[in-house]
Structure 1
Amino acid sequence: MAVAPENQTTGLVLAGGRGSRMGGVDKGLQLLRDEPLALHVLRRLAPQTDAMLISANRSGDDYARLAMRFDARVIADSLADYPGPLAGIATALRAAHTEFVLTAPCDAPFVDPQLGTTLRRALDEHGADIAYAATVDTDETRIAHPVFALIRTSLADDLDAWLAAGERKVRAWYARHKAVQVPFHDHRAFYNINDLHQLAELARR
């Protein structure tokens, strides 16, 4: 799994949500081509990183079985009641033993194989603390994808304080730091499956 040592990156699959738009099912364990969505993400993220984490607040045994295939660890939010992706990121910033955490949601099975490299290049060029993805349309309109991000683990204390203050919005926390939005042109790489109907449609293609 390990790549060049200078990457110093831990991958994080965010699978800790309620799955409310899927009727409360555990989104990362729903099947696409007979495999859990989270497994598709793990497969694409792991070659870009030095270590892997899965953020999950339920179905721990199921995620542990997936994790074993990638020598990954399963972590749970330290905050109760599914407070959102920042809680999973906060736990990962503490759990990681690398300089960076590279995040992707469990419902995006086509993660760009160059996500980490592209975000790291932009982060270094801008001297930033956070780099996150945005897709660009033909008219140059950008759509932000803030949970596809590369984040310095040195921000752990600040994020813990942000969450302790009751804040939950990802982009609002990014705005506290030097964050760079990085353009990508492959929209498919950031396609996320919000409900069971979308999943069924994708499976039929």
Structure 2
Amino acid sequence: MLGVVDRSQLLRIIDKTGQLLYRVQLPAEGTTIFLGWEKSGAGAVLAAVQRLGGAFLWFPARPENVQQWEGMQFSTKVLKNSLVKRNSHFDTCFACWSDAGKLMLGLADGNFAIWDLGSNETFMSRTHFPGKHRNAITCGAWTPDGTSLALGSATQLKVSAPIANASWEGTAAKLDLAAGVSGGFQKVSFSSDGRMLAAFAGLSVFRGLTL
């Protein structure tokens, strides 16, 4: 199946024969920044992520509607355009799936939210959470087993690891950019065994960050 969002923010789901399976109008005032299937290969859910709108989740097993996820809340009613402007507490600027079925949304205020497809558990960082960034999340990557998450921002790189289930309360590693390095963190990537991390910031490349 193929998911497509056009400039009017209309989401279409198309099968391999080109037949339209489902369509829904996402908030037209929003901007879709991420569109991707979960990575297990089964195609259990498609996530369309908007700035200010959160994530819109479509399940092939329940094709009649789309669920909207805003941090700790799920709804089968898509936000009206007028409400998108008031959703500043959940201004999403980055998103990615893990290979283990976890969806991460990085927010403009430095927080992040996680939804676990397998357990349906959700987590959202808070103001004094050690994994929170001072600036907007600009990039991120999961370890292959989905147990650790690296997030970058304008000035910091942090690796968070869970204590139990979906409670991501620990910071396993942290790197602050030196003064004068412009551009912030742009990309992070784990090695296949999850023990090494490479990060790109401005014109600098950090290789072999051992966890």
| TM-score, length-scaled by structure 1 | 0.30
Would you tell me which structure has more strand in proportion to its own residues? 2
* Structure index of larger Rg: 2
Higher helix share: 1
Q: Which one has more relative contact order, counting CA pairs under 8 Å at least 6 apart? A: 1
